[in-house]
Amino acid sequence: MAIIDAINATLTAGWKGDAGWNLKEYEARGGYQSLKRILTGDKLTPDQVIAEVKLSVLRGRGGAGFPTGLKWSFMPKAAPVKYLVCNTDEGEPGTFKDRDLLAYDPHSVIEGMIIAGYAVGAVAGYNYIHGEIFELYERFEAALAEARAAGYLGQNILGSGFNFDLFAHHGWGAYICGEESALLESIEGKKGQPRYKPPFPASVGLYGKPTTINNTETFAAVPLVFRMGGQAYLELGKPNNGGSKLFSVSGHVNKPGNYEVPLGTPFAKLLEMAGGMRNGRKLKGVIPGGSSSPVIPADMIMDCTMDYDSIAKAGSMLGSGAVIVMDETVCMVQALERLSWFYYEESCGQCTPCREGTGWLYKIIHRIEHGEGRPEDLDLLLELGGNIAGRTICALGDAAVMPIQGMLKHFRSEFEYHIEHKKCLVPREVQKAGSTFHTRMMAGAAC
Amino acid sequence: MLSQESLSRIDREIAKYPADQKQSACMAALRIAQEEKGWLAKEAIEDVAAVLEMAPMAVYEVATFYNMYDLHPVGTYKLTVCTNLPCQLSGGVHAADYLKQKLGIDFNQTTADGKFTLKEGECMGACGDAPVVIVNNVRLKSFMTPEAIDKLLAECK
């Protein structure tokens, strides 16, 4: 699968699927021109590079939306050894954009990392790749070998005197490693348990050295910023929301997949691009930024534009751009039960409120779903959540609580129905009909 | 002991990191050891520890933390199905049900002939391709309709 559709494709312009990932194809679509301009053409200083990225208002594409140029400027200038890390541990349910970036355009990530390495003065970089997409880890290693052979990596890059090398590191099945300090622990060959912050990675990062960590899509956008110019990149999006963004649309749409649209594109337009609702069913709610972002009901999301500020105003988060679309066949209690199981399973176990609390949350939602809910359970969930969120080292505790708060805010009556009637508001057969697999299985009567 | 081939593959991983940070190659070394042995017995974990000059306990911690390491024997083909919400909305759970019926086993079980092990996995970062199945940790199969699952099972000789 490649990018399905785009409005003003910039990041994904010229992609040719599996045939177009290699160095030759990347150079043919203008690849490595930005690096050449910076190192040997215009000979920009690291400060000039950071200034241009600040001008573009490229914000972190991993979920937090932190301004990239500002993050780079936090790196201490005098430190002799600094590192750069790319976070491709893409495991937030609903997100699958970085997978396509590594599949079809790995050199854009490499070029972006070399430029970032130059800007922050890093000696080496690592790309931490989600273990479940191992075939793309191998492809990234092949792309690194191409870049090294072409003189883009290693000693004295393009004769500029700048030395920088880049390596791939794979995860092996731990959601928590998407958290940047857990990811650093993992590169160091340990359990991926998050660190206290502060100190932030820009002060004490990989191997205790100052480290900048950005998301894959953020790095991939960096060459584009220099190809277009920071101002032009900013103008692609909305003020304070520079550029375009990849949105991963999953769930009950006719064409699930990745879509590149300018930040600020109306949700309704994105839904239309994704082929509209599967089987013409009615939209019930959308989880707009990965499984940890609070759900937004149909009528509210139809008024939203897809950018950090609009989604925040609707009480949720744009996050990583993972848009999970749910139609009327979804029982929100069952949906939340499944998400809660995930956070319980993936809690790293370090902090008591999260390790114990995520299990309690799951147990309570499980008993509501299975007809054993008690009237006081909904308030208990919120109270428990309040004792988890903000009381843990990392944000996984918050991530486990936010979907619950969102569901109870917008779909509380469905939970109350469950508790009172000991069954789903949405009949089981209707829920099953929402699954294409089930429909095909029944049609084929294969089992 | 690990084979010479595995040891040289591990050496290539060690070379990616600073000379005093051999431990960083731990995850890759365990993956390589698992590929060779089929699963990670205590001996394999101790072999990795010896190569990386780590305490065996430190390697064991890593092997138990990340869920794609197998600490018990698995079938020739380990099939992992994602059932998380985005996949579920496009049939992930029903694909898993179908596999359970076809193979006659539940999650975390192995068929009597030792051929298949079924696992429930989650987020593989491929929700748009749901249902998805990963074969032996490294081969991700997309859009697993009933027909595609039948074909996959037939291909697993």
* Predicted pLDDT at A2: 57
Same domain, B126 and B103: yes
* Predicted pLDDT at A444: 61
* Predicted pLDDT at A239: 85
C-alpha of A396 from chain center: 14
- What average pLDDT does range B38-54 have in this prediction? 98
Helices (H) and strands (E) in chain B, counts: 7, 5
Q: For A257, phi and psi rounded to 5 degrees?
A: 160, -170
Same domain, B57 and B107: no
Q: Choose from B27, B68, B80, B83 for mutation: most chain A CBs within 10 A.
A: B27
- Element (DSSP H or E) covering residue A344: helix A332-346
Q: For A105, phi and psi rounded to 5 degrees?
A: -150, 50
- What average pLDDT does range A47-73 have in this prediction? 95
Cα B63 from Cα A388, distance rounded (Å): 28
Same domain, B58 and B88: no
pLDDT of A443 over the 50 cut: yes
pLDDT of A1 over the 70 cut: no
The three-state secondary structure class of B132 is coil
Report the DSSP beta bridge partners of residue A428: none
Residue A7: name the closest of A256, A266, A346, A230 by CA: A266
Cα A131 from Cα B136, distance rounded (Å): 12
* Count of Cβ atoms closer than 10 Å to residue B11 Cβ: 12
Residue A403: name the closest of A387, A381, A421, A426 by CA: A381
Query: In sequence order, which residues have a C-beta less than 8 Å from that of residue A276 and are 6 or more positions away?
Result: A253, A254
Structural domain span for residue B48? 4-65
Contact A189 B27 (CB under 8 A): yes
Do residues A151 and A257 make contact, with C-beta atoms less than 8 angstroms apart? no
Would residue B102 count as lying in a domain? yes
Residue position matching structure tokens 């050199």: A107
pLDDT of A244 over the 80 cut: yes
Do residues A226 and A34 make contact, with C-beta atoms less than 8 angstroms apart? yes
CA distance A230 to chain B (A): 30
Q: State whether residue B91 sits within 8 Å of chain A by CB.
A: yes
Do residues A143 and A101 make contact, with C-beta atoms less than 8 angstroms apart? no
Residue A196 burial (C-beta neighbours within 10 Å; 0-12, 13-18, 19+): exposed
Residues of A in contact with B91 (CB under 8 A): 435-438
Would residue B91 count as lying in a domain? yes
Would residue B90 count as lying in a domain? yes
| Residues in B 99-128 with any Cβ partner in A closer than 8 A | 101-102, 121-128
Helices (H) and strands (E) in chain A, counts: 20, 12
Q: Choose from A362, A428, A437 for mutation: most chain B CBs within 10 A.
A: A437
Would residue B127 count as lying in a domain? yes
In percent, the amount of chain A with pLDDT more than 90 equals 88
B51: left (phi over 0), alpha (psi -120 to 50) or beta: alpha
- What average pLDDT does range A384-401 have in this prediction? 96
The domain that holds B23 is classified in CATH as 1.10.10.1590
The three-state secondary structure class of B59 is helix
Residues of B in contact with A294 (CB under 8 A): none
Do residues A320 and A96 make contact, with C-beta atoms less than 8 angstroms apart? no
- Element (DSSP H or E) covering residue B110: strand B109-110
Instruction: State the average pLDDT for chain A.
Output: 95
Would residue B94 count as lying in a domain? yes
The three-state secondary structure class of B122 is coil
Residues of A in contact with B21 (CB under 8 A): 188-189, 207
Cα A296 from Cα A300, distance rounded (Å): 6
Question: Looking at the partner chain, which of B52, B61, B125 has a beta carbon nearest the beta carbon of A130?
Answer: B125
Contact B89 A186 (CB under 8 A): no
Same domain, B85 and B53: no
- What average pLDDT does range B58-63 have in this prediction? 98
Q: Which of the four pLDDT bands, split at 50, 70 and 90, describes residue A445?
A: very low
Same domain, B32 and B83: no
Cα A152 from Cα A40, distance rounded (Å): 12
Same domain, B115 and B59: no
Same domain, B150 and B83: yes
- What average pLDDT does range A26-30 have in this prediction? 97
Total domains, chain B: 2
Please say which residue of B42, B65, B88 terminates a domain: B65
pLDDT of A270 over the 60 cut: yes
Cα A64 from Cα A194, distance rounded (Å): 16
Same domain, B54 and B109: no
Residue A388: name the closest of A409, A403, A370 by CA: A403
**DSSP secondary structure of A75-139:** S-SS-S--EEEEEE---STT--HHHHHHHH-HHHHHHHHHHHHHHHT-SEEEEEE-GGGHHHHHH
Residues of A in contact with B25 (CB under 8 A): 189
CA distance A42 to chain B (A): 32
Q: Choose from A132, A184, A293 for mutation: most chain B CBs within 10 A.
A: A132
Residue position matching structure tokens 């045939």: A19
**Radius of gyration of the CA atoms of chain A, in A:** 22
Query: In sequence order, which residues have a C-beta less than 8 Å from that of residue A50 and are 6 or more positions away?
Result: A69, A72, A73, A119
Question: Looking at the partner chain, which of A175, A189, A441 has a beta carbon nearest the beta carbon of B123?
Answer: A175
Antiparallel, parallel or unpaired: β A83-88 and A211-215: parallel
Computed from CA positions of residues A170, A87, A237, A258, in that sequence, does the dihedral angle turn out positive or negative? positive
Which of A238-242, A244-248, B88-92 comes out lowest in average pLDDT?
Answer: A238-242
Contact B128 A256 (CB under 8 A): yes
The interface pTM score, or ipTM, of the predicted complex is 0.97
Same domain, B88 and B135: yes
Question: Looking at the partner chain, which of B24, B68, B91 has a beta carbon nearest the beta carbon of A438?
Answer: B91
Residue position matching structure tokens 């430029």: A115
CA distance A232 to chain B (A): 31
Would residue B71 count as lying in a domain? no
Question: Looking at the partner chain, which of B27, B86, B144 has a beta carbon nearest the beta carbon of A186?
Answer: B27
Same domain, B108 and B42: no
Q: Choose from A130, A136, A172 for mutation: most chain B CBs within 10 A.
A: A172
The domain that holds B135 is classified in CATH as 3.40.30.10
Amino acid identity for residue A380 in this structure: L
Would residue B72 count as lying in a domain? no
Please say which residue of B65, B87, B111 terminates a domain: B65
Report the DSSP beta bridge partners of residue A167: A126
pLDDT (tens digit, 9 = 90+) per residue, B35-44? 999 999 999 9
* Predicted pLDDT at A428: 87
Report the DSSP beta bridge partners of residue B110: B117
Do residues A122 and A82 make contact, with C-beta atoms less than 8 angstroms apart? yes
In percent, the amount of chain A with pLDDT more than 70 equals 98
- What average pLDDT does range A12-24 have in this prediction? 95
| Residues in B 30-69 with any Cβ partner in A closer than 8 A | 30-31, 52, 54, 58, 61-62, 65-69
Cα A398 from Cα A343, distance rounded (Å): 10
Q: State whether residue B147 sits within 8 Å of chain A by CB.
A: yes
Contact A251 B86 (CB under 8 A): yes
Residue position matching structure tokens 């040289």: B8
* Predicted pLDDT at B28: 98
Residue B60: name the closest of A185, A348, A187, A190 by CA: A190
Residue A202: name the closest of A171, A221, A180, A222 by CA: A180
Do residues A127 and A213 make contact, with C-beta atoms less than 8 angstroms apart? no
Please say which residue of B65, B93, B108 terminates a domain: B65
Would residue B70 count as lying in a domain? no
Same domain, B104 and B43: no
Whether omega for the bond prior to residue A353 falls within 30 degrees of 0, making it cis, is no
B104: left (phi over 0), alpha (psi -120 to 50) or beta: left
pLDDT of A346 over the 80 cut: yes
- What average pLDDT does range B48-60 have in this prediction? 98
Residue B10: name the closest of A127, A166, B1 by CA: B1
Q: In the structure encoding, which two tokens stand for residue A32, read together? A: 């490595």
* Predicted pLDDT at A416: 97
Same domain, B54 and B81: no
Give the E-state strand segments of A289-386 in sequence order: 296-297, 305-306, 322-327
Cα B57 from Cα A311, distance rounded (Å): 45
A105-114 burial string, b = 16+ CB within 10 Å, else e? bbbbbbbbbb
